[in-house]
Copies of this chain bind each other. A is one copy, B any other.
Amino acid sequence: MDFTMNLAVSTPPKRADKTADGTADGSDAAALMHEIGGGAKAAARALALANTAQKNSALAAMAAAIRGRKEEILAANALDLAEAKAAGATSAFLDRLALDERRIAAMADGLEVVRALADPVGEVTERWTRPNGMTIERVRVPLGVIGIIYESRPNVTADAAALCLKSGNAAILRGGSESYRSNAAIHAALADGLRAGNLPEASLTLVPTRDRAAVGMMLAGLDGTIDVIVPRGGKSLVARVQAEARVPVFAHLEGICHVYVDKAADPAMAKTIVLNAKMRRTGVCGAAETLLVDRAAAANQLKSLVTMLLDAGCEVRGDAATRAVDARVKPASEDDWSTEYLDAVIAAKVVDGVDDAIRHIERYGSHHTDSIVTQDEATAEKFLREVDSAIVLHNASTQFADGGEFGFGAEIGIATGRFHARGPVGLDQLTSFKYRIHGTGQIRP
């Protein structure tokens, strides 16, 4: 994940008055959230039955409105930035919060990308005929109401809205307090699009309060109206959501991804994959955090892998065997095996073959994405079978852990849970299904 701010930390002090910028007191917030939940539930029913053309015309109108309201959005963002600066926000935080012409254009383009994707709703994913002549179809239907809880990046408002809308789900968006005005300006543009598509405004609600109690109500399911929560933000936000949510959550807490270089690895391929998995982008959840090298490969591959990483500017924290190949390697502590650095740092260890590598990954990993480099098909097969992660790769970089790279077009995040959605969560994963049965008068004997 790119985000490191904690929702709790980033929320300004609660105010007792109700103001134009959306602050409300606790009881007001409860009544307001109750109303939002009911509205979203009703809108979800309409959205589930909306046809593809309607949803696409709304998405096109949303993109146009984002472009058309660019000045408003930038003005709102400037106020958010000024407030955050005055509150002493870090430059990394301000960068996540800041919008410019390029970022606004990217939001509009993202809406068009989702518009161009196939509509999953109504897709028949299985069909079979029973001996009595009945035909059973498994058909995709929307999930219902999706609650999105996110932090400073205002683009999530548009990105998440697009995926929810295209998959026929209503969305309740609760963005970071520090991006409140930016989100509201973006939401106003999206609402233009809903009207243009003749879809209910409650299809997409931005929680109009900075009251932190709203998050707790969403995690409790908002009177049974929220079907799933998707958190978008740093580890502390995701941890809070996973701990407190009473409804399903699509998320991953961290990506402690491994690359295992087997004795039968092609040395050149191993170097290319390790460098890419760690260094292409260090802040993404699919970045490798631990390098495991087969003891039988250590003699002729460990030194070149480690030197390559160090020369590329990556700090290496290694076990004794790894430290022995280069004096620049720092000692790894027990904690390093379970740390998601999200930075140019890697833990490195020599293991006794694929079984030991699998044991290490199962013990310290986060069931996100893990890769083996080997020319031995049987060893690869063993690794792919026994490593219990959402994504397992053979001879490819862990940085492919991304809905776009899977061909999903766009994703709302990566899930490491075992239910419903696992790995990248794209449009298909935002749907449920029902069984549709066609008979000719069949009764059960």
Residues of A within 8 A of B (CB): 45, 48-49, 122, 128, 130, 134, 136, 141, 143-144, 227-228, 246, 248, 266, 269, 272-273, 275-277, 280, 362, 380, 384-386, 388-397, 399-400, 405-407, 418-420, 422-423, 432-444
Q: Are A389 and B134 in contact (CB under 8 A)?
A: no
Which of A49, A276, A406, A435 has the largest count of B CB atoms less than 10 A from its CB? Answer: A435
Known A418-B144, A422-B432; contact A130-B407, beta-carbon cutoff 8 A = yes
Which of A266, A384, A399 has the largest count of B CB atoms less than 10 A from its CB? Answer: A384
Q: Are B442 and A395 in contact (CB under 8 A)?
A: yes
Q: In the bound complex, how far is the Cα of B393 from the Cα of A134, in angstroms?
A: 10
- Min CB distance, A278 to chain B, in Å? 11
Q: Are B418 and A419 in contact (CB under 8 A)?
A: no
A246: chain B residues at CB < 8 Å are: 246
A439: chain B residues at CB < 8 Å are: 393-396
Q: In the bound complex, how far is the Cα of B365 from the Cα of A434, in angstroms?
A: 15
Q: In the bound complex, how far is the Cα of B433 from the Cα of A390, in angstroms?
A: 8
Q: Are B395 and A435 in contact (CB under 8 A)?
A: no
A397: chain B residues at CB < 8 Å are: 442-444
Q: Indicate which residue in B395, B422, B440, B441 contacts A438 across the interface (CB closer than 8 Å).
A: B395
A384: chain B residues at CB < 8 Å are: 436
The 6 closest A-B pairs by CB, nearest first: A396-B439, A276-B443, A418-B432, A399-B444, A420-B420, A269-B441
A248: chain B residues at CB < 8 Å are: 248, 419
A406: chain B residues at CB < 8 Å are: 130, 136, 435
CB nearest neighbor in B for A392: B436
A266: chain B residues at CB < 8 Å are: 441
